[in-house]
Amino acid sequence: MNRHRSIAAILSVLFMGLGQLYNRQFVKGLLLIAVNATALIYLVPNIGKAIWGVVTLGEKTQGLKKVGRINVPVPGDHSIFLLISGLITILIFAIFMTIYIMNIRDAYRNGSLRDKGMAVPDFKKTWAYVTDKNFPLLMLAIPALGVLFLTIMPIVFMIMLAFTNYASPNHIPPKALVDWVGFETFANLLTLKTWSHTFIGVFTWTIVWAVIATVTTYFGGMLVALLIESKGVRLKKLWRTLFIIPYAIPQLISLLVMRNLFNGQFGPVNQYLGYFGLGKLPWLTDPFWAKVTVILVNMWVGIPVSMVLILGVLTAIPKDLYEAADVDGASGFQKFKIITVPFILFSTAPILIMQFAGNINNFNVIFLLTNGDPVKGDYQFAGSTDLLVTWLYKLTLNNSQFNMASAIGIIIFLIVASFSIWNYRRSRSFKEEDMIQ
Amino acid sequence: MKMGRKTATFIRLTLSYLVLIAIAVCAIYPALWVLLSSLRPGTALFSPKLIPDTFTLAHYKELFTNPSFRYGVWYLNTLKIATLTMIFSTILTTLSMYALSRFRFRGRKNTLTVMLVLGMFPGFMSMIAIFIFLLQLNLLDTHAALILVYSAGSVLGGFVVKGFYDTIPRSLDEAARIDGASHTQVFIKIMLPLSRPMLTYVALTTFTGAWVDFIFARLVLRSKENWTLAVGMWDLVNSYQNSNFTLFAAGAVLIAIPITLLFVFLQKFLVQGLTSGASKG
C-alpha cells in the first residue's frame, strides 16, 4: 500500500501544508499554509515584473507629457532599481522554492510512515528532531540569510553591472536607461588606449606594492620577533608591548597622523631631516617618493602583526630540537638556519599568502595616506599610488563609472581568488581538519 | 678565549638593544607626537619643538563646545553602534562557526568554499547595491542599517573561530552527548566557557571594526547628528586639517584611546586569536 504517501505528496504539491494536514500534523500544516499564503501574496504581483526588469532593465525613458497646456514630467523606468528589486524578488522566490520542495519531501516521507503502519511524529517530536539532527542548519540559518541579502545579492548585482553600460555621462538613471552590453566594458578596459594605459599602470603598481609590502612586513616582523626572543635580551614583555602599539592604534587615526608627519612643508620628518643638514623630501607629492612613503608607513602598520604571529610560532618550536642540535655541536647560526627559519616559514606560509592577497586589497593605507595621489595626467581617474581597489572606489563614488568599476572588481577578485584557493587547497585545515580530533 | 666570548656576547647584546630602542622610538613617536600636539597651544601643524613649552586642554574643550561639530553626540553614536555590532557579530559568528566546525552535514564543504570565495571580493564592490537595498527598506541614515550590515558581514571573517573550534577535542562534547546533554546544552555549558579567548578576540575585532569604519558609515549616515566618530573625523580632516591641526590631534587621541587601551590590556587574547588562526591556515 502506498496510497498515503502519494496522496500526501500530491496535496503538498497543490498547496504547501495540505499534505501535512492530511498526515494529521496540524501545527506544521498550518504553519506551512501560512508561509505559502504570505509567499503567494508577495510573489504573484511581483515575480513577473522582477523577471521583466532584470531582462530588459526598463523600457520607458523619463519624458514629458502634455497635460493641458503644461508639460508634466513622466517618470521613466529606473534601470538600477529594477535590477536590484528584481534580484531581491528572485532570491525570495528561490528561498520559497526550497521550502516548497522540502514540504513535498516531508509530506511524502510521513505518508510512507503511515503506509508502513507507523505513527506520524507530532509537533513536539518534530521540533525535537529538528533541534537535534538539523541543529547546525538551524544555527546557520540567520547568518545565511544576512549573507544572502547583504553580500551575495550585492555581489551578483555588481557582477551584472559589469555587463551593462551604467556609467556617466550618458547612462545614469533616472535620466536615461541602462542596457546590457555583454563584454563591451571588459573590451574597452583592455583595448581603449586611455583605459588600458591606466589599467596596466595601476595593475603593475598593485602587484609591485603587494610583493614589497608583504615581504617587508613579514621579514621585518620576523627580525623584531627574533630580536626580542634572542638569548640575553631582558624586558621581553616590555618590548613586546611597546612594539604592539602601532597595531593597537586604529589605522584610521594612525594613517591620518602619518599624513601630517610626512607633510612636505611643515611635517616633523622633514624638519628632522633639516636638523641633519639634509634637504626636504617631497614625501607625498612626488610619484616616486609617495610610493616609498606608502611602503614605509605600511611597514610601521604591518610589522607588529607579523611580529605577534611569529612570536607565537617561536614559542611553539619544540625545545628538544634545539637540544638535539646542541648535542650534535651545532652553532647558534646553524640552529637558526636549520631549525628556526624553516619552522617559521612552514607554519606561517599560508598566512604569508593571505597577507599578499590582503595587500592587493589594502585600501586603508593608500586611501588614507595619499588618496592615490600625486595625480597622474595621462591616467583615467587614477593617481600614481592608486591600487586597483582605490581606483575602483574613485570610479564608483567620484566618477560614476559603475560598469568599469565592476569590471575591475571582477578582475581583482580573479587575482585574489586564484591565490587564495591554491593556498586553501594545500593548507592543512582543508585536507586534514578531521585528523586533529 | 673566555673573555673573547664575553665581549662577543656583550657586543651582540648592545647591538640588539640599540636596534630595539631604535624600533621602539619609531613605533612610539607618531603616537607621542600626536598626543603632544593635541596639548599644544595654537593651531599650526609646524612646531619647532616636540615638547611644547606650555600645555593646554583647550582643544579638547573645543571639540565638545564648538557648534560646528557634535563630538559628544558622535561619541555616543559610535559607542552604541560598536557595542551592538560587537554583541550581534560575536553571537552570529560563534554560533555559525561552531556549527561549521563541529557538525558534518550536507553542503558543509560548499558553505566553507562559498564563504572563502565571498571574502575575496573587494568589500565596497557591494556598496551601491547595499545602498539601494537600504534605501528600499527605508533604513538610510539610521544606525540600525550600519549594525545590520556590519554584523552580517562579520560572519564571513569567521575562519579564525572555526580554526579554534577545530582544535577542541571532539571527545569532550561526545562524552556530554552520551550523558544526555542536548546540543544547546553542550554549546552553552562546555563550548562557551572554553572559547573565552576566542570570544574576546572576535568581540575586540568587531568592536574596533565598527568603531573606525568610515567608508560605509559615510555612505549611509547623512545627517550630521547621526554621524559616527570616524565620519566626523574624516570630515574634520578634509575641512579643517590645514588650518586647525591641533584640534584634529585632540580628536584623534580621543578616538584612539579606548581602542588602544583595549588592545594593550587584551593583548594575550589577541595573540592567541592571531596565532590560532595561523596554525590552522
| Domain parsing of chain A, residue ranges | 3-182, 185-435
**Which residues fall within 8 angstroms of residue B191, CB to CB, at 6 or more apart?**
B98, B165, B168, B173
Check whether residue B44 and residue B96 sit in a common domain: no
- Residue B85: predicted pLDDT: 94
Looking at the structure, do residues B88 and B138 belong to the same domain, yes or no? yes
Query: What integer is the mean pLDDT of A71-91?
Result: 83
For residue B251, the model assigns a pLDDT of 86
> How large is the average pLDDT for residues A99-117?
87
Looking at the structure, tell me whether residues B16 and B80 fall in a common domain.
Answer: no
Q: DSSP of A148-197, one letter per residue?
A: IIIIIHHHHHHHHHTTB---TTT--TTTS---B-TTHHHHHHHHSHHHHH
Residues A395, A161 contacting (CB under 8 angstroms): no
| For the ranges A94-98, A418-422, B47-51, B267-271, the one whose mean pLDDT is highest | A94-98
Let me know whether B196 and B237 are in one domain.
yes
Answer yes or no: do B77 and B30 share one domain.
no
Q: Give the residue from B35, B59, B83 where a domain finishes.
A: B59
Same domain flag for B205 and B116: yes
Inter-residue contact B275 to A312 (CB < 8 Å): yes
CATH 1.10.3720.10 fits A185-435, yes or no: yes
Instruction: State chain A's mean pLDDT as an integer.
Output: 84
Residue of B nearest to A162 (CA): B125
pLDDT 10s digits, A308-330 = 888 888 877 788 888 888 888 88
Separation in Å, CA B34 to CA A200, A333, B50, B63: 38, 41, 10, 16
**Residue B185 pLDDT level (bands cut at 50, 70, 90):** confident
Distance from CA of B281 to the nearest CA of A (A): 5
| Least confident window among A11-15, A253-257, B126-130 | B126-130
Residues B49 and B149 in one domain: no
Q: Domain of residue B25: give its range.
A: 2-59
Work out the average pLDDT over A405-432.
75
CB < 8 Å to B281, chain A: 350-351, 423-424, 427-430
Q: For all residues of chain B together, what is the average pLDDT?
A: 83
Cβ B126 vs Cβ A413: under 8 Å:
no
Which residues 107-136 on chain B approach chain A with CB closer than 8 angstroms? 108, 111, 116-118, 120-122, 124-130, 132-133, 136
| Structural domain contains residue B64 | no
The DSSP string of A287-307 is HHHHHHHHHHHHHHHHHHHHH
CB proximity under 8 Å: B 52-91 to A: none
Domain annotation covers residue B82? yes
Whether complex ipTM tops 0.85: no
Answer with the residue of higher pLDDT: B18 or A121.
B18
Running DSSP on this structure, what letter comes out for residue B66?
-
CATH of the domain at B160: 1.10.3720.10
Range B257-270 average pLDDT:
81
Cβ distance of A81 and B136 shorter than 8 Å: yes
User: Which of the four pLDDT bands, split at 50, 70 and 90, describes residue B80?
Assistant: very high
Interface list for A 410-429 with B (CB within 8 A)? 412-413, 416-417, 420-421, 423-424, 427-429
Q: Which residue has the higher pLDDT, B275 or B39?
A: B39
Question: Looking at the structure, do residues B163 and B249 belong to the same domain, yes or no?
Answer: yes
Considering only CA atoms, which of B35, B47, B53, B38 is closest in space to residue B246? B38
B23: contact with A, CB 8 A cutoff = yes
Q: What is the pTM of this model?
A: 0.82
A373 secondary structure, DSSP code: P
Lowest mean pLDDT among A410-424, B94-108, B143-157, B260-274: B260-274
Q: What DSSP element (H or E) covers A63?
A: strand A63-67
Residues of A in Cβ contact (< 8 Å) with B245:
260
Tell me whether A243 touches chain B (CB under 8 Å). yes
CA atoms in the 13 A half-sphere facing the CB of A121: 13
Tell me which residues of chain A, numbers 37 to 76, contact chain B at a CB-CB cutoff of 8 Å. Answer: none
pLDDT value of position A437: 33
Give the best-scoring range by mean pLDDT among A79-88, A123-132, B74-83, B116-125. B74-83
* Facing residue for A312 by CB, picked from B124, B182, B278: B278
pLDDT in tens, A365-397: 898 888 888 888 788 888 888 998 888 888 888
Beta bridge partners of A63: A74
Residues of B in contact with A252 (CB under 8 A): 212, 214, 230, 233-234, 255
Residue B125 lies in a domain: yes
Greatest mean pLDDT range, A134-143, A415-424, B24-33 = B24-33
A127 pLDDT higher than 50: yes
Q: Are residues B221 and B140 in the same domain?
A: yes
Q: Which pLDDT score is estimated for A207?
A: 92
B90 & B156 share domain: yes
Nearest residue on chain B to A360, alpha-carbon basis: B122
Q: Which of the four pLDDT bands, split at 50, 70 and 90, describes residue A427?
A: low
User: In angstroms, rounded to a whole number, what is the distance separating the alpha carbons of residues B12 and B209?
Assistant: 41
Pick from A282-296, A418-432, B30-44, B248-262: least confident: A418-432
Tell me how many degrees the CA angle A62-A68-A72 measures, rounded to the nearest 5.
20
The more confident residue out of A354 and B99 is B99
Phi, psi of A125, deg, nearest 5:
-65, -40
pLDDT of A431 over the 70 cut: no
- Determine which of A42-51, A419-428, B165-174 has the lowest per-residue pLDDT on average: A419-428
Q: Return the closest-CA partner of residue B268 out of A311, A348, A352.
A: A311
Same domain as B6, residue B31? yes
Residue B2, pLDDT score: 55
Task: From B84, B209, B153, B96, select the one nearest A154 (Cα to Cα).
Answer: B153
- In this structure, the answer to whether residues B116 and B251 fall within a common structural domain is yes
Distance from B184 to chain A by nearest Cα, in Å? 9
- Please list every residue in chain A whose beta carbon sits closer than 8 Å to the beta carbon of residue B120: 357, 413, 416-417, 420
Collapsed DSSP state (helix, strand, coil) of residue A67: strand
Q: How many domains does chain B have?
A: 2
Q: Which of B31, B33, B264 sits opposite A268 (nearest CB)?
A: B33
